[in-house]
Amino acid sequence: MILRVDNLVKHYGAGRGAVVHAADGVSLEIAQGEVLGLVGESGSGKSTVGKCVLRLTEPTSGTIELDGRDITHLSRRALRPLRRDVHMVFQDPYSSLNPRFTIEQIVAEPLRRHGVAKGGEVSRRVTAMMERVGLPRQMLARFPHELSGGQRQRVGLARALILEPKLVVADEPVSALDVSVQASVLNLITDLQRDMGFSCLFITHDLSVVRFLADRIAVMYLGEIVETGPTDQIFAEPRHPYTQALLSAAPVPDPVEQRQRRRVVLGGEIPSPLDPPPGCRFHTRCPLAQDVCRTAVPALRDPYGGRHTVACHLVTDEKIPDATAAH
């Protein structure tokens, strides 16, 4: 496994003894060359998990293994050479690029920081990477403000991939782009991942994006993983009521099917991570919630096999709950 996260917990102090439960007991794995889509509503803890994986945020507890090595408690100095193997693509391509640097300086910075190339070799590798992300070499002398949003995100990709990392963490990399530009950037990421073979933790709230990109999906709700499985299985047979609600809210291209499909309309807002509800954290919004859901925390388990896990008391060996039938 390139990445193994086990029982990751991240709590933030919020003053006066209050604690923000950003991530509670998150476990996930990513194999060599695999794309894992991490999905959920805003505030579910997706970005926190990504930052902990990169050690941009220190976890409260749990373990993070990168290519078989435990990096959870490594010092900054010990972690520095390992940062060649993992890079991040940020949501906002403008704020993540140094406005004082030219595009050439931005893309070349990882090479210089890690001392893997010098002189003409730096220029050669930067030019080659610019071509791979579909940008002409004439842009190397420009500054970020002179580029469009899609071009800036391509620069961000070039910077992240210039060292040929083993793992890329992409945090909502297309959500800040116009819809007309999103498809071209997603196609580029797919092509680069296929050609370069890096693993990817792809964080998004957009299910259509993960269906296009991801080999497997992990669904987060209020700091916890509630369902994981192969992408085709998740879309064909979602088991958790929350996953069913997310999929029912995603539009489909067939207008007839869109009109006929049953929706799962969730009541209320996602609870505050300052005071998560007891038992199953989804029970306050779940149309199928029972007494056991309000008191007992469901374990993430795989009742049917096939690497499709779910944390729901209502999933048994005999049946899968159908939240659409509650409306």
Which CATH class for the 3-326 domain?
alpha beta
- Mean pLDDT (whole number) for 13-42: 91
Mean pLDDT of 1-25: 91
- 220: number of Cβ within 10 Å: 25
Confidence of residue 256 (pLDDT cuts 50, 70, 90): low
pLDDT at 326 over 70: no
pLDDT of residue 7: 96
The Cα–Cα gap between 46 and 224 comes to 9
Q: How far apart are CA 42 and CA 26, in angstroms?
A: 17
β-pair partners for 24: 9
Tens digit of each residue's pLDDT (9 = 90 or more) over 87-127: 999 888 778 899 999 999 999 999 988 888 778 889 999 99
pLDDT at 253 over 80: no
The pLDDT of residue 257 is 61
Supply the pLDDT for residue 18: 87
Mean pLDDT for the stretch of residues 308-313: 93
The model's pLDDT over 146-204, given as tens digits with 9 standing for 90+, comes to 999 899 999 999 999 999 999 999 998 888 788 888 889 899 999 999 999 999 999 99
Kindly report the average pLDDT of the chain as a whole number. 89
pTM for the structure as a whole: 0.91
DSSP secondary structure of 5-44: EEEEEEEEE-STT-EEEEEEEEEEEE-TT-EEEEE--TTS
pLDDT digits (tens, 9 = 90+) for 257-310: 656 667 777 777 788 899 999 999 999 999 888 999 999 999 998 887 778 999
Mean pLDDT value across residues 242-252: 82
| DSSP β-ladder status, 35-39 and 199-204 | parallel
pLDDT for residue 264:
75
Paired tokens of 95: 């704020």
Nearest CA to 107 out of 142, 146, 66 is that of 142
pLDDT over 90, % of the chain:
61
The mean pLDDT value for 23-39 works out to 95
Q: Is 80 exceeded by the pLDDT of residue 137?
A: yes
Q: Residue 174: CA atoms inside 13 Å, Cβ hemisphere, count?
A: 22
Distance between first and last Cα of the chain: 42
Which contiguous run of DSSP H or E holds residue 131? helix 120-132
Predicted local distance difference test score (pLDDT) of residue 173: 87
Domain boundaries, the chain: 3-326
Distance between CA atoms of 281 and 221, rounded to whole angstroms? Answer: 8
Of 55, 87, 51, 40, nearest in space to 246 by CA = 40
